[in-house]
Amino acid sequence: SEGAMNVVYGVLAALAAIMMFVPKKGIDDIPLDQVTFNKWLAAVLAFLIGIGSGIVGAAGAFLLVPVMLIVLKIPTRMTIATSLAVTFISSIGSTFGKIATGQVDYIPALIMVIASLLASPLGAKTGQKMNTKVLQVILAVLILATAVNIWVDIL
């Protein structure tokens, strides 16, 4: 039911928000070419996140980011870039499915695409210059705001 899906979404968002406030010491000190992580664990977690994201119909980035930071211990900048790439690739199939079933309102979608294409380079440049601790706080606040918004809607 829709109510059950919202509760699953709310629980996942709350879990992600809590994970974002766990201290992440030293992960950003690792040079990007020396980052290692358990690939089997990453595959299993990505599979589970994919199922959860598919159930609630949301992109999995709000779950991928804390998992990559906390569990896999991937540096912040690499986590952000990787979650963007994963979300982009995984959304292609969903996009075609939603278009095929007539669930896309094209005018707002076009406006959002144009705005995103214009704003993304500005955000990428700003993020590149920003301290990784500040980036983590921004991500944590955004994920927390999402979780709170979901629970306000549920309750």
Burial environment of residue 97 by CB neighbours within 10 A (0 to 12, 13 to 18, 19 or more): exposed
What percent of the chain stands above pLDDT 90? 16
Domain range list for the chain: 2-102+132-154
Tens digit of each residue's pLDDT (9 = 90 or more) over 14-26: 888 888 888 777 7
- Give the whole-angstrom CA distance, residue 123 versus residue 127: 6
- The answer to whether 87 and 41 are in contact (CB under 8 A) is no
- Among residues 128, 139, 132, the alpha carbon closest in space to that of 64 is found at 139
Q: What is the pLDDT of residue 112?
A: 93
| pTM of the complete model | 0.74
For 41, phi then psi, to 5°, come to: -65, -40
C-alpha 1 chain-centroid distance: 24
- Among residues 92, 77, 54, 93, the alpha carbon closest in space to that of 125 is found at 77
Q: pLDDT at residue 117 above 70? A: yes
* Number of alpha carbons in the 13 Å side-chain half-sphere of residue 6: 11
Over the chain, what is the mean pLDDT?
A: 84
